[in-house]
């Protein structure tokens, strides 16, 4: 590895900005007008936003008018997961049903009372317990309820059977929100085919700029009676405040690029992911790969080696020029015990050693080689230390 050269394997935390997005963002920075102004400068800024809205909508098979831009995935989740989200002319949900492995912006970011939230367990592969879900839905209607199940897990990459879950929720008279932040740009997404009422997205996970996300409704028959951000009538009145024009334009460009390259990228990333997994198992046959028996995102590998603490591994690999993580990045830079792996019934000792590799648009075979070399050096160092200590 050359001086200063690094291997980045943490795309699920954030992806490098795609060149197309960087170029679009830079051009949008020169747009002068406020997009709410009626003069020519304002109309030009508005046109740039609406073009990006169409690009994001096409990524998930939605109508552009049903895309609402936010400051990111967390705000999008917080806004939707509320008793005030409803179908037009229908009562709002009285309680929330969530899987036990949701992102913290869902588990802790909703606006329901604590006693109005019901968590559904998952099995050892990280898939929602559909029997328990059916039991919960059977007693959840009436009154109306809101369910939230992520499309793909940010730590393990395990993909949920969202279309099947959507049918069950709809049959019980509920609404379904799907956090698609990790799935967008990494697997096919069509909001109609999935059957969900609303999706939430984040630009920086798929190679757009940080600080912009989106709420995507299945149709225009939804309301948010109580907004998180109040003020003007921007974003069809759903989200006040002057829009982040350059961020939105960058989001649109990243979404278009991701959609255009999706089929080929899925094959390429799966090959790279499987190559990383093969190296892990070759070097540490005792390694445990989380969610290996389930469908996973093609870019994500989560594993643990018994006796190798995650904190030690992350620091060592970082010093060797390889950036990985131990799970979600939303933990103030700390290595914390994973609620996802706990919910999957993983032994505490293995949970403490969880490492996540995630790849993306700029990943290459050389990254696999450099990771394997650094990982082997880590294992040799730990085993030598233990031999010396003995």
Report the distance separating Cα 171 and Cα 188, nearest Å: 25
Are 160 and 128 contacting, i.e. CB atoms less than 8 angstroms apart?
yes
What is the number of other CB atoms lying within 10 angstroms of the CB of residue 387? 8
Give the angle subtended at the CA of 346 by the CAs of 343 and 347, to the nearest 5°: 130
Please choose, from the candidates 118, 211, 194, the residue with its C-alpha nearest in 3D space to the C-alpha of residue 151: 194
CB-based burial label for 2 (10 Å; 0-12, 13-18, 19+): exposed
Q: Which of 124, 219, 276, 330 is catalytic?
A: 330
**Cβ atoms 338, 153 nearer than 8 A:** no
Give the separation between CA 301 and CA 161, rounded to whole angstroms.
Answer: 19
Q: Is 124 a catalytic residue?
A: no
Angle, helix 310-319 to helix 365-389, in steps of 10 degrees: 120
Rg (CA), the chain: 22
Give catalytic residues, as residue numbers: 330
């Amino acid at each position: 590895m050359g001086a200063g050269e690094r291997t980045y394997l943490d795309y699920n935390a954030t992806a490098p900005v795609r060149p197309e997005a960087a170029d679009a963002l830079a051009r949008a920075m020169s747009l002068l007008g406020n997009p709410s102004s009626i003069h020519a400068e304002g109309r030009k800024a508005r046109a740039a936003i609406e073009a990006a809205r169409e690009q994001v909508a096409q990524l998930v098979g939605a109508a552009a008018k049903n895309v609402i831009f936010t400051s990111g995935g967390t705000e999008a989740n917080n806004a939707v997961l509320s008793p005030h989200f409803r179908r037009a002319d229908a009562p709002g949900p009285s309680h929330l049903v969530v899987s036990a492995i949701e992102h913290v912006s869902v588990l802790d970011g909703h606006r329901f009372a604590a006693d109005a939230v019901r968590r559904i367990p998952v099995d050892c592969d990280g898939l929602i317990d559909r029997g328990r879900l059916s039991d919960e839905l059977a007693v959840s209607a009436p009154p109306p309820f809101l369910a939230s199940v992520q499309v793909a897990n940010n730590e393990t990459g395990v993909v949920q059977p969202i279309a099947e879950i959507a049918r069950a929720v709809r049959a019980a008279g509920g609404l379904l929100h799907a956090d698609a932040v990790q799935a967008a740009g990494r697997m096919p997404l069509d909001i109609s085919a999935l059957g969900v009422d609303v999706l939430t997205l984040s630009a920086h996970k798929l190679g757009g700029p940080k600080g912009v996300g989106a709420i995507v409704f299945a149709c225009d028959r939804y309301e948010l009676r109580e907004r998180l951000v109040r003020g003007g009538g921007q974003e069809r009145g759903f989200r006040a405040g002057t829009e982040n024009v350059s961020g939105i334009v960058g989001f649109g460009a990243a979404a278009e690029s991701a959609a255009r390259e999706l089929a080929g990228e899925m094959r390429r990333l799966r090959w790279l992911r499987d190559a990383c997994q093969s190296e892990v198992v070759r070097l540490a046959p005792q390694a445990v790969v989380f969610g290996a028996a389930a469908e996973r995102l093609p870019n994500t590998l989560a594993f643990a080696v018994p006796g190798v603490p995650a904190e030690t591994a992350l620091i060592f690999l970082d010093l060797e020029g390889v950036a990985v993580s131990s799970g979600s990045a939303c933990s103030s830079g700390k290595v914390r015990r994973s609620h996802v792996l706990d919910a999957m019934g993983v032994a505490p000792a293995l949970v403490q050693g969880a490492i996540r590799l995630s790849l993306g648009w700029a990943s290459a075979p050389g990254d696999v080689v450099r990771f394997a070399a650094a990982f082997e050096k880590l294992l040799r160092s730990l085993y030598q230390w233990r031999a010396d200590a003995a």
